[in-house]
Structure 1
Amino acid sequence: MGWNDHQDVELTDGLRRLLDEGQLEADGSQAVLALYIINHGFAALSEEQQQQFHDDLLPLLDLRSRSDELDAMINDPGNEDPGSLIDTDDGLRTRR
């Protein structure tokens, strides 16, 4: 397991704890997002979902002091839409 895998496990354990302790409204947007992250991982989050995690769930996990590390993990370049790049003879360029 790499560093990010350990971080992922730590955060998903925290999200499970929030759900188990009833700190998130059963069918509320925070609970839905927490379950989505648990089931699909952080890399599957859209930009909007990343922002919601940062604004709504991260403070509940009491990890605000590590938010820069978490932002780097959540905003991993591997999470970009491959359709936003065009393959050209001289390399990749952004689509206009």
Structure 2
Amino acid sequence: MGHNDHIDFDLHELIQDLIDEGELEENSDAHGVARQVIHQGYDSLSPKQRTLYDAVVVPALKRRGEEVEMIQRMNSAPD
């Protein structure tokens, strides 16, 4: 088992997209908690960290997912 086996690369990319788009502030507490989830999993969070992740990161990820879905629908719609 390598040192990268526990890293969630998909979540890492999504979090980076949120930062790039201004949805999540780099080096903020929420970003730090998201990085912990990427590297150690959600279960590694304390109750306070879970509250922050659920209140800030999860809604931002949901909005991003809805935006991507809308773009995909628009791109696949017949002309």
- Which TM-score applies when normalising by structure 2? 0.53
More strand by share: 1
In the alignment, structure 1 segments of 5+ residues that lack a partner are 1-7, 64-96
Measured after TM superposition, the shift of residue 32 of structure 1 is 1.0
Aligned residue pairs: how many?
56
* RMSD (Å), alpha carbons: 2.4
How far apart, CA to CA, are the structure 1 residues paired with 2:9 and 2:27?
A: 23
For the 8 Å contact 1:25–1:31, the answer to whether it is kept is: yes
Aligned-residue sequence identity (percent) comes to 29
Q: Find the counterpart in structure 2 of residue 35 from structure 1.
A: 35
For the 8 Å contact 1:24–1:31, the answer to whether it is kept is: yes
In the alignment, structure 2 segments of 5+ residues that lack a partner are 1-7, 64-79
Task: Select the structure with the greater relative contact order (CA < 8 A; seq sep ≥ 6).
Answer: 2
- Which TM-score applies when normalising by structure 1? 0.45
More helix by share: 2
